[in-house]
Amino acid sequence: MKSAQLALIAMSALTIWSCQDGTASAGLQIPHPDDSSKRIEYFVEAPAGSGPWPTIVLLHGHQVWMRPGGRDFLDRGVLKELADRGYLAVAVSQPGYGNSAGPADFSGPFTQHAVAGVIEKLRADGRASPKKLLIEGISRGALTAGLVAAHDPSVSGLVLISGVYDLPAYVADPNASRGKMSVIRSLISESGGTKEALDARSVLRFASSIKASSLILNGAQDDRTDPGQARRLAEEINRGGGQAKAIIYPDFGHRIPIEERSKVVDPFIDEVLGKT
């Protein structure tokens, strides 16, 4: 048998083993709920034992190089770390990233429904707890996380990191930095830039519908987002009967060091998902 054929058989066996084992060494896929011809990629790392488990869904931000999507959390060991703590750890490649079919729509309906579809699949399979689920999103992933939670009252926790939550105000900023202008160009290109499209992607417009316990983090030196929007979102969630806390780091920009944010994120996750 030729070496190329042997390599193909070995790769196929590895993929089958990975899926059966339930770990994230190979990406899993489901049809997109809105278009069955398109696939959504996600990665899963499960704790020992049998489910359903308290679940953490991780949503990446915009990725310039390679666009690995949810695989980034796998490669950095984040999924294994969470699974070792007893959580079903899930990373979703948002449409247009990794092997998830696009187009990217800047946290619009196509992206939101992709994430919701993965959650529904994991619950239907008896892996994700129906009552203990937290979504953590970074940058544009924070928008997606907030919007999914606003439309799904079963989401029990939110961690939003370095997001933008009032898109009309963001686009209208006359003093936008170069970093903000780059985000604005992507936002208009992917969404169409109409008032309706911006409103539909603004988590602040849906704050009163978010009942998940929420932790909102932002850097005061962030040149791509507005820390004031993080504060406003927490205020609006609380005003609507939810429970939210905003933390602004005075010395950090768009990238808040993992070791710093973990000091508040890890205990928050344990509290929300019942580990404390």
Average pLDDT, the chain: 91
For the chain, domain boundaries: 27-272
**Residue range 205-221, pLDDT digits in tens:** 999 999 999 999 999 99
Bridge partners of 213? Answer: 157
Quote the percentage of the chain above a pLDDT of 90: 87
**Residue range 156-208, pLDDT digits in tens:** 999 999 999 999 999 999 989 998 999 999 999 999 999 999 999 999 999 99
Q: What is the average per-residue pLDDT within 77-100? A: 97
Q: What pLDDT is stored for residue 65 in this prediction?
A: 80
Q: What pLDDT is stored for residue 51 in this prediction?
A: 87
Tokens of 236: 């609006």
Q: What pLDDT is stored for residue 64 in this prediction?
A: 85
Q: What is the average per-residue pLDDT within 52-76? A: 95
- Which CATH number, 3.40.190.10, 3.40.190.100, 3.40.50.1820, 3.40.50.1470, labels domain 27-272? 3.40.50.1820
Parallel, antiparallel, or unpaired for β 88-92 and 35-45? antiparallel
Tokens of 138: 């970074």
User: What are the distances in angstroms from CA 275 to CA 205, 269, 271?
Assistant: 32, 8, 6
Q: What does the buried/exposed string (b/e) look like for 60-98 if buried means 16 or more CB atoms within 10 Å of the residue's CB?
A: bbbbeeebbbbbbbbeeebbeebbebebbbbbbbbbbbb
Q: Quick check: 99 pLDDT over 60? A: yes
Closest CA to 85 of 132, 122, 48: 48
Q: What pLDDT is stored for residue 15 in this prediction?
A: 34
Bridge partners of 219? Answer: 249
